[in-house]
A and B are shown apart, each in its own frame.
Chain A
């Protein structure tokens, strides 16, 4: 199934680097449901800019370390 967004992310890797933080813990810290964290990680949902900043802040990294935008296939 094609992903509905070209926004990519490294949340999974960042979670493991942050002491194997669980999806539930990240969800609690940014005020989302665990299912939304799963959807973001799998590229099924693009979060708002505000939530994206909150996620980046949890990991203490810049926004573009968490999220990227895939080039359009020519």
Chain B
């Protein structure tokens, strides 16, 4: 597995974990409290921050793990860390392109909510869903390309 594929896995897992935590934290309040009173702001910022921070931390941990594995078992090489070639670039571009379309469509939905003057809760969460869906679609397309080829 190339380093870029590992980073894609880290990003996908972190996104799923952070989004699940947010949905569990905030979604649990739906139905019991009026949406205007749901304190979603802090969990939303924590979830977005965690996605960025944990992806960086996971990437660093993977680089260290790759280096240790290369030294101890002789499998792979320290040179594999952060090595990126044309296949990685092509796969990355494909994933990002598909994710752009998905995020764009969902953003139009969030825009519609704003124009219809829906509560801020739904608009903010609509944007968050677009952000998360874009990230997951990007990771999914990239991982499928890595596994199946293209």
Binding site for B on A (CB under 8 A): 1, 3-5, 24, 28, 31-36, 39, 42-45, 47-48, 51
Contacts and interface: CB of A to CB of B under 8 A. Distances in A.
Interface in B54-73: none
Interface residues of B, number: 16
B150 A32 contact: no
B1 A4 contact: no
A3 B149 CA distance: 8
B86 A5 contact: no
Contacts of B2: 33-36
Interface of B: 1-3, 5, 77, 79-80, 83-88, 148-150
Given A45-B87, A48-B86, A51-B86, A35 B5 contact: yes
Contact of B77 (A24, A35, A44): A24
A2 B98 CA distance: 22
Contacts of A5: 149
A44 B149 contact: yes
Nearest to A24: B77
A39 B91 CA distance: 13
A42 B147 CA distance: 12
Nearest to B5: A35
Contacts of A31: 85
